[in-house]
Amino acid sequence: MSKIILNLRMRLIPLNELIWCDLILSNRLIRPSNILNKGYLSPYGSRKLTGRRTSCRILLQKIKARTLEMVARTNAVEEHCQLVLNSAWEVVSNTLANIDEWIRFRTELRDQLTSEVDGLEKKIDAFEATISRKLAEIQQNLVVLETTMVRNYTNIQQHVVDEIALVKSQLAEMVDCIKDCMMPKWGKVVQEVKRVKILEVNKEKDQADREKVRVVPRKKDKAMEGEKEAADKKEVNGFEQENAKKT
């Protein structure tokens, strides 16, 4: 601080006054021996020491006043600078605290996200493994089911074919048995029916012929009746022979 004050007063204070200021500010005793030893004044100037002491007192008062003023000014500047530094330090401290908080939050969030991603990856791997296993089981079951269905279909088809063949053979046997049992009776019934139909037809023809040929003599009528009866008998005998051959 003394160097700053002396540098500020170099332009305002003469050389002799600066010497006295140096002595005063360095807390040295103002003695002729000290002054002579330091070489500030020549031996011839010692006579004026008393006057110098008086002027030194006045100068000391001025220097004290100016020093107090400068110290007050410097204190105000220093206080302002200190306030600025304090405010800047608070801002920097708050910023650093925010940065540290953000870094801590980011680290925690990154760790949390990393753990969650790892958990999701493990779950995805387990899910993929489960899906692969299920698909393999389904494929295997489908193959088994397909083979089982084909085998069952083949067996059922063969069983149906065998059953149909058995039914056909049984039906053929039943038809043959029915024919063997019913054909004699059925042949007789058919013959009777045919004979009745033939007789009815012949009677109708006879009635028609009689109506047409009423004028013809009775002899001719008898001959025609005999011929018709013979023809009817031949037809009946022919049907009976045919039925006998069939049976």
Question: Considering 75, 108, 141, which residue would you say is the last residue of a domain?
Answer: 108
Our count of domains for the chain comes to: 2
The whole-number average pLDDT for the span 6-13 is: 44
Query: Would 164 be classed as within a structural domain?
Result: no
Question: Considering 48, 77, 108, which residue would you say is the last residue of a domain?
Answer: 108
Query: Would 117 be classed as within a structural domain?
Result: no
Question: Considering 108, 124, 140, which residue would you say is the last residue of a domain?
Answer: 108
Q: What's 47's DSSP letter? A: G
User: What is each CA distance from 141 to 71, 92, 131, 132, in whole angstroms?
Assistant: 101, 71, 15, 14
Query: Would 147 be classed as within a structural domain?
Result: no
User: What is each CA distance from 214 to 202, 218, 228, 229, in whole angstroms?
Assistant: 18, 9, 17, 19
Residue 38 in this model has a pLDDT that exceeds 50:
no
In this prediction, residue 199 has a pLDDT band, given cuts at 50, 70 and 90, of confident
Range of the domain at 12: 2-108
Query: Would 137 be classed as within a structural domain?
Result: no
Query: Would 114 be classed as within a structural domain?
Result: no
Looking at the fold, whether 103 and 193 belong to one and the same domain comes out as: no
In this prediction, residue 235 has a pLDDT band, given cuts at 50, 70 and 90, of low
